[in-house]
Amino acid sequence: MGRFIGILLLIGYHSLPQEEINWYLDKDISCPIARDSMSGLQYRNMKQNLHLADNSEINNSDKLYKVKLYLNLLNRKFQQFGIEESHDLSK
């Protein structure tokens, strides 16, 4: 599961026109980290079958309903690191 989440984050940053390009063998366009971590078939299966919410209780007024609980968990985890008031980029 950790590799899957990592690939999702990486693919969000390393955007390509089609998701499956990340698993191509061409070094100039593919994403070797994703390809070496998990097969494209495993990734697609996990993406199709992973559900974060109960679809029988859909809240149509909340566009983030399906990921809301997971987002709240991530926000709590990220807040543990704190927020710096200023950042010195010269270091």
27 and 1 co-located in one domain: yes
Confidence at residue 44, expressed as pLDDT on a 0 to 100 scale: 92
46 and 57 co-located in one domain: no
Whole-angstrom distance, CA of residue 54 vs CA of residue 36: 32
In a domain, 42, yes or no: yes
Segment 4-47, tens digit of pLDDT: 988 888 888 888 888 888 888 887 888 888 889 999 999 999 99
1 and 41 co-located in one domain: yes
Count structural domains, the chain. 2
2 and 30 co-located in one domain: yes
21 and 41 co-located in one domain: yes
In a domain, 34, yes or no: yes
Quickly state the pLDDT bin for 89 (edges 50, 70, 90).
low
Confidence at residue 85, expressed as pLDDT on a 0 to 100 scale: 63
- Token digits of residue 90: 């010269």
CB 39 within 8 A of CB 5: no
**Which residue range(s) make up the domain with 35?**
1-50
**64 has pLDDT over 80:** yes
Quickly state the pLDDT bin for 88 (edges 50, 70, 90).
low
3 and 46 co-located in one domain: yes
Segment 38-54, tens digit of pLDDT: 999 999 999 998 877 77
Whole-angstrom distance, CA of residue 50 vs CA of residue 5: 11
Residues in the chain: 91
Confidence at residue 37, expressed as pLDDT on a 0 to 100 scale: 92
Whole-angstrom distance, CA of residue 68 vs CA of residue 70: 5
- Amino acid at residue number 19: E
43 and 64 co-located in one domain: no
